[in-house]
Structure 1
Amino acid sequence: MTKNFRLTHDVLDVAAVYAIADNARNGAVVLMSGMVRNQTGGRAVDYLDYQAYEAMALQVFQDISDRCRERFPDITEVVIHHRLGKLKVGEISVLVAVGSPHRAEAFEACRYAIDTLKTDAPIWKKEFWLDGVSSWVNCPI
């Protein structure tokens, strides 16, 4: 896979993802940063644990990029980086960036990419709450 698609246990780098999406043809780069929030459904979150079927997830990232390019043919780049392992409240779990000559396509393609990732990618999240209870959520596959 390319530098555009990454699964890692390391902290995600907003500037690096932006730089990959940037291009002289762009009039816009839209970057979406998904973070661990401090509550879900009114329950206090301690931390999250992300796991993935890595080879398949990277292929899904490529498929998402291909579908974005079919729907929004002027976009220049699609970048998807997702973090794995234990993440604390406030840490970035996913970055999606799209470069395009026009902002409307960049916004639409970025939204399409993150929404599709959430439904199609074999990435699983387990929430651990402060009360000691945990459960798997958002398990699309």
Structure 2
Amino acid sequence: MAEDVDGPRDLIKLTHERLSSDAVSSSVTCPSCGAISLFIGTTRDNFEEKKVVQLEYEAYVPMAELEMKKICTSIRTKWPSVRHICIQHRLGVVPVTEASVIVGISSPHRVDSLEAVRFCIDTLKATVPIWKKEVYETEDPVWKQNKECLWSSGGKK
């Protein structure tokens, strides 16, 4: 269990290493919270009837980390009871079934942590400069942008 002596924590990580939901859950666990909500985004094996074999992620790390910190600040404004926030995103190759992104948020009660996790992943996809390439079994790979992405569409959804 994570210690809770230093107050609320915002933990942000961009890594080429495999992500662990147990590690994220542990990092947001604290005695004052009865709710830990997690979102785990994984690589699926298909897109529009094409067989996906893996995803590849790239990021402009300094800007991505800054945007992730802004998300944490927004969460704390909207849900002041949120205790700990952990956002981890994988870079490089992510095989089918492995996690690309994990968000963990703790709060005293479930409503705040659940709502904050949804806000976090939706905002991350809309604002953080992380690019995804889908690699298919029988077709050329394709770089994708999130449909929610504000920075690539001039702020228009």
Aligned match of 2:84: 77
Contiguous gaps of at least 5 residues in structure 2: 1-8, 152-157
Q: Distance in 1 between matches of 2:22 and 2:122?
A: 22
Q: Give the letter aligned to residue 87 of structure 1.
A: V
Is 1:17 aligned to 2:24, yes or no?
Answer: yes
Does the Cα contact within 8 Å between 1:18 and 1:97 map onto a contact in 2? yes
Aligned match of 1:34: 41
* 1:23-82 deviation per Cα after TM superposition (whole angstroms, max 9, x unaligned): 111110001110000001221101111000001111111110100010011010111000
Q: Give the letter aligned to residue 123 of structure 1.
A: I
TM-score by length of 1: 0.95
Q: Which has the higher contact order (CA 8 A, sep 6+)?
A: 1
Q: Distance in 1 between matches of 2:87 and 2:10?
A: 9
TM-score by length of 2: 0.85
Aligned match of 1:108: 115
User: What value does the CA root-mean-square deviation take over the aligned residues?
Assistant: 1.3
Q: Distance in 2 between matches of 1:115 and 1:41?
A: 22
Deviation at 1:3, TM superposition (A): 7.1
Q: Give the letter aligned to residue 106 of structure 1.
A: S
Aligned match of 2:59: 52
Q: Provide the aligned length of Structure 1 versus Structure 2.
A: 140
Does the Cα contact within 8 Å between 1:128 and 1:135 map onto a contact in 2? yes
Does the Cα contact within 8 Å between 1:118 and 1:138 map onto a contact in 2? no
Does the Cα contact within 8 Å between 1:8 and 1:82 map onto a contact in 2? yes
Contiguous gaps of at least 5 residues in structure 1: none
Structure 1 residues 115-134: aligned runs within 5 Å: 115-134=122-141
Local SS of the residue matching 1:97: strand
Local SS of the residue matching 2:22: helix
Is 1:61 aligned to 2:68, yes or no?
Answer: yes
Q: Give the letter aligned to residue 38 of structure 1.
A: D
